[in-house]
A = this chain, B = another copy of it.
Amino acid sequence: MKKILKVQVDLGDKIAQAIAGGAEYYEPESFIGRQVIVLTNMEPKMITGVKSEVMLLAADLQGKPIWLTVDNDVPAGTHVR
């Protein structure tokens, strides 16, 4: 049975739900307060029966996701360009 991570992401104007890989490497608690980078221009999709509305971006270190972040705090919802 594949473990997945269900993450609530604050987009500034709303909270989105994401299903993230990497459950074999990360505890759910490790996401609390973490600044993540997400793709928002996607259609929501169902992953193992759970809705995923955005996608957390990560560097792929031989299968282990190393989450993208910012090197200074920015407000939730700040756009990337």
Contact = CB atoms under 8 A, between A and B. Distances in A.
Interface of A: 34, 37, 57-61, 66-72, 74-75, 78-81
Integer count of this chain's copies in the complex:
2
Given A58-B70, A60-B79, A66-B70, 7 more contacts: A60-B80, A61-B78, A66-B74, A66-B78, A68-B69, A68-B70, A69-B71
26 contacts: A34-B71, A37-B68, A57-B80, A57-B81, A58-B70, A59-B74, A59-B78, A59-B79, A59-B80, A60-B78, A60-B79, A60-B80, A61-B74, A61-B75, A61-B78, A66-B70, A66-B71, A66-B72, A66-B74, A66-B78, A67-B71, A68-B69, A68-B70, A68-B80, A69-B69, A69-B71
